[in-house]
Chain A
Amino acid sequence: MGLSIEDITYVYDSDTAMAVNALNHITTTIPDDQFIGLIGHTGSGKSTFVQMLNGLLAPTTGRILYNGEDIHGDGYDRKQLHANVGLVFQYPEHQLFEQDVITDVMFGPKNLGKNEEEARQAAEEALSRVGLSSEYYKSSPFDLSGGQKRRAAIAGVLAMHPKILILDEPTAGLDPRGRDEILNLIRKMKEEMKMTIVLVSHSMDDVANYVERIMVMNSGQIALDGTPNEVFAHVEELESMGLAAPQITYIMRHLKDLGMDVDTTPLTIEEAAKEILSALKGH
């Protein structure tokens, strides 16, 4: 069933004259087993929106249902919601605190009331999913490399067995190699665990090849929502929001403008090359 968001609004500092509408009447659904990219520039409301999805912030008006239940209803178990809808913040490695990696990853499951044995099992499974083998279990999280730290931090949320996993700019500050590793890891997790992933990013190039649905946020609203191809067809609108289509889209559009008979939908180099070759053969 997943999450259904019904006409939510969020106002910062609502009791003062400085009130800011961070979210403006958003209605949408986030179903099970879907790979979603959430795009928007800084200040578009996307951070507020994702904190709303796992109950860290409550909407000013409107409601959010998880599997049909209002997550801000009386007696709703919000701790369990944090587990079902996992949220990995930007620079998650800054939240590592335990003496060794395995204990840090066990923090989440233990908070959910799991005993030592169950928590360890969950942690080991999560660590193997993110590619950290048992030789790292006893290392201090602070001795890991940058990319490993980030993976350990993601495992910390993964160990709570989320059905929906939201990652807020998981590639921020990483170099190209680290970025590709994390993105491939996320794709693998999606395929193996059949969960819903919401990937928050500034960069179309990062998400274009990976996700099946793109939501574009702008001034607290969802401005565009659809498959990558549907969204990238609105290049001018994206640009007016301070965003851009992937580089490949621009290249293909340029070739089309030059009179070549190419389609502008390819999102990978291979697809684009194939498209160009078939257009050239057609002549």
Chain B
Amino acid sequence: MAQRSTIGQYYQTDSRIHRMDPRVKLIGTFVFIISLFVVNNYIGYVLSGVFLAILIANSRVPFRYIVRGLKAIVFLMLITVICNLFLTKGTPLVSFWKLTITYEGLDFACKMAIRLMFLIIGSSMMTLTTTPNQLTDAMESVFGPLKVFHVPVHEISMMMSIALRFIPILTEETDKIEKAQIARGADFESRNLMKRIRSMVPLLVPLFISAFRRANDLAMAMEARCYHGGEGRTKMKPLKYRKEDVASYIILAAYFVLCILIRILGSRVDLVRFL
């Protein structure tokens, strides 16, 4: 059974953030990630935190749903924090056995934990409120200028959306083939690693053949419906900025400027030393 992780899975509801143009969300996510690396003091993190909190409140995605998604990366976060805590050289704070926690280590570990957490929450806010379809549209539009450098932007986004359409179909097919081979006595649960790898052959060969057959059929069906690349194509649902989206860009810009200001001004103010 597939594990149900909520990390980044689209959460269906109607909110200001859901209705936002996907390009705003895509660019906003990039800006937010960059801002986390621009900011290097706690005042800045408070600002990023408040920004994120406002976002979450406006998205109507339950906080618990987001936190559940975080569980998957708790382990990764712990390792990062511990490594930074013990391996950073500097002014010793506490020391026992062979390990020393330095002042710099503590500072660095805290910042790293906050950064990672904000980064994950921030980027999952995009996927939580944007359908995969809107996302591919946004990518095609945002990366559109790359066409000048012969990057096949339209083709890549078409590929992504087709992949998204076929993932559930192939998942179901995998399940069917697996059952059929079990009915022929196949053993997919052997403890022996080599056996287990070999047992994948009866599953993978039919799956690949089926995927190729589907790809072939699909290519023909697309051709029959006059598909001939991105040139001369119109859009049924073209992306259009609304007033709200412009306002969002302004808020985003203001946030980013503030982050830069805090970095410049705040380098002399260090919260931990105050405490």
**Contact-size category for A:** 20 to 34
Residues A89 and B183 in contact, CB atoms below 8 Å apart: yes
Residues B202 and A107 in contact, CB atoms below 8 Å apart: yes
Residues A97 and B202 in contact, CB atoms below 8 Å apart: yes
Residues A97 and B205 in contact, CB atoms below 8 Å apart: yes
Residues A83 and B210 in contact, CB atoms below 8 Å apart: no
Docked Cα-Cα span, A156 to B209, in Å, equals 19
Residues A54 and B186 in contact, CB atoms below 8 Å apart: no
Interface residue? B206 (CB, 8 A): yes
Where chain B touches its partner, the secondary structure class is helix
Docked Cα-Cα span, A156 to B180, in Å, equals 11
Interface residue? B185 (CB, 8 A): yes
Count A/B pairs, Cβ under 8 Å.
Answer: 52
Residues A89 and B176 in contact, CB atoms below 8 Å apart: yes
CB contact list, A14-73 vs B, under 8 A: 51, 54, 56
| Chain B residues within an 8 Å CB radius of A170 | none
Docked Cα-Cα span, A201 to B31, in Å, equals 58
Residues A107 and B209 in contact, CB atoms below 8 Å apart: no
- Across the interface, name the chain A residue whose C-beta is closest to B199: A111
Interface residue? A95 (CB, 8 A): yes
**Contact-size category for B:** 10 to 19
Residues A157 and B179 in contact, CB atoms below 8 Å apart: no
Q: A94-B206, A97-B202, A97-B205 are in contact. Are A111 and B183 (CB under 8 A)?
A: no
- Across the interface, name the chain B residue whose C-beta is closest to A166: B183
Interface residue? A142 (CB, 8 A): yes
Q: Which of A54, A96, A112 contacts B183 (CB 8 A)?
A: A54
Docked Cα-Cα span, A177 to B205, in Å, equals 29
Give A residues with C-beta under 8 Å from B.
51, 54, 56, 79, 82-83, 86-87, 89, 92, 94-97, 107-108, 111-112, 142, 156-157, 160
Known: A94-B209, A97-B202, A107-B202. 10 other contacts (CB 8 A): A56-B182, A86-B183, A89-B176, A94-B177, A107-B184, A107-B186, A108-B184, A111-B184, A111-B187, A156-B184
